Amino acid sequence: MTMKEEEALPPRRRLPLRLLLIGLILLAGMLGAYGLKKTAPRAQRVAPQPQARWVAVRPVTLQDAQVEVRGFGQVVAARQIELKAQVAGEVVALHPQFSEGACLPAGTLLVQLDARDYQLALAQREAAVRQAEARLALEEGQQQVARQEWQRYQGSGQPLPESAHLVLRQPQQEQARADLASARAALQQARLELERTAIRLPFDALILRQQVEQGAQLVGQGTVATLVDSGTFEVEVTVPLDALALLDLPRPGHLTGGAEARIERTDRPGGGSARQGQVIALLGELADGRMARLRVAVADPLALRAATPPDWPLLLGDYVAVSLLGRLLPQVAVVPRALLRDGDQLWLLTPQQTLEIRPVEVLWRDQHQVYLRGVVAGEQLVETDLAAPVAGMALRPLAPEDDA
């Protein structure tokens, strides 16, 4: 139908005809598109190949390793006393080195009290003993006379009276012997009091505080000085509770057999000269944080007998670092602490070049290393951190020169 013929049609018939033509055109386009789709070549889908991650590895080695338990502690006195006068008197002399900070040997005469009153008392006690000895000798002579008279009396055939012991002066003799024993005890007491006017050091001592001056009047039990034993200091160190299983501890009541210790300054750990000590006791009470408390003895802390003095003083009240030598762990792996993953696991490279995530038994861990079991010598330990580790993922080890 031509356009002229279409225009000749009435308007009511012209619209349906146009709609029919449009529909035929759309249908032809759809059929053409469908045919192209069915006859077009199809691309084959290929599964992506997983890409192996490059990692640095190191071989596992087993060794007999000795554990070192580290802790901190405070230096305290092994023995501290207040030296007191046992008798009263005026201080007439002091040792020339009697001052705070001085170290003096045991037996040193530290303070001398006025002894004249005690010397007079001693002389009186000596005289009393001689008097008591004379009375006893006199009484023994009188008893001898009484015994001779008693023997003559028995010879006459007279019966033994009930008061024979009185006749023989036995009570008088016992009294004289008791008086002599009392006089001798008083003499011994006088000698002891005279000896106590000389106040001496009971042990090798460091004088912490001097509490008396020459001319002072001391009363009985008056304090002369505060002393600490200069031969031994102690360090009260705290360690984790589970570390006790790895340390040699002395038996209760014994001060030997404990683990050896190395004492260092906290501001220079590993630097300078270290002091040597030994664990002498496990204290029976936990410290804050459920930490065990140990006593470590340090001999000659002031280096009074050392040929070469150390380069730092060990002072009472100081805070020090302590390393305790633990037991030998046979055939364990010692790895850097950073390679122990969450949950006490290690990452290992299998012979198939895949990742194995293996739980291990941790025996001890310190600041830098972990001592563990659960691996075999020669296995490859993965050192590289992986963002999303999955067991079985493909890995590829770096050559040593690449890792470098």
What does the pLDDT look like over 318-338, one tens digit per residue?
999 999 999 999 999 999 999
Radius of gyration of the chain (CA): 51
Distance CA(276)–CA(280), nearest Å, equals 13
Region 220-239 average pLDDT: 94
The Cβ-side half-sphere exposure at 84, using a 13 Å CA radius, reads 8
- Alpha carbons within 13 A on the beta-carbon side of 97: 11
Asked whether the beta carbons of 395 and 356 are under 8 A apart, the reply is no
Q: How confident is the model at residue 166 (pLDDT cuts 50, 70, 90)?
A: low
CB atoms within 10 A of CB 58: 15
Q: What helix, strand, coil percent values describe the chain, rounded to 5?
A: 30, 35, 35
Of 340, 326, 325, the closest CA to residue 372 belongs to 340
For residue 276, give Cα distances in angstroms to 95, 112, 240, 310: 33, 38, 21, 12
Q: Binning pLDDT at 50, 70 and 90, where does residue 49 land?
A: low
At residue 189, the pLDDT reads: 95
In this predicted model, which residue has the larger pLDDT, 208 or 52?
208
Residue 300 near residue 206 (C-beta atoms within 8 A): no
Q: Are strands 260-265 and 319-336 parallel, antiparallel or unpaired?
A: antiparallel
With a pLDDT cut of 90, the percent of the chain lying above it is: 61
What is the tens place of the pLDDT at every residue in 171-193? 777 888 898 999 999 999 999 99
CB-based burial of residue 92 (10 Å sphere; 0-12 exposed, 13-18 middle, 19+ buried)?
A: middle
Can you tell me the distance from the alpha carbon of 346 to that of 374, in angstroms, rounded to the nearest whole number? 10
Task: Give me the residues paired with residue 96 across strands.
Answer: none
In this predicted model, what pLDDT tens digit does every residue of 243-287 receive, in sequence order?
Answer: 999 999 988 777 788 999 999 988 765 556 789 999 999 998 898
**Confidence band (pLDDT; 50, 70, 90) for 109?**
very high
Distance separating alpha carbons of residues 118 and 218, to the nearest angstrom? 15
What the block records as the tokens of 49 is 């190949």
Residue 369: count of CB within 10 angstroms of its CB: 18
Do residues 357 and 389 make contact, with C-beta atoms less than 8 angstroms apart? yes
157 pLDDT higher than 80 = no
User: Cα–Cα distances in Å, from 399 out to 66, 180, 231, 402?
Assistant: 32, 101, 58, 5
Q: Which two tokens stand for residue 375?
A: 């691996």
Is 374's pLDDT higher than 80?
A: yes
Helix orientation angle between 170-195 and 116-155, rounded to the nearest 10 degrees? 170
Question: CB under 8 Å to 166, separation ≥6 — which residues?
Answer: none
Q: What is the pTM of this model?
A: 0.71
How far, CA to CA in Å, does 275 sit from each of 234, 237, 239, 283, 324?
12, 14, 19, 22, 12
> Averaged over 385-396, what is the pLDDT?
91
- Phi, psi values for residue 359, rounded to 5°: -70, 145
Single-letter residue type at 87: V
Q: What φ, ψ does residue 134 adopt, rounded to 5°?
A: -65, -45
Is residue 84 pLDDT above 60, yes or no? yes
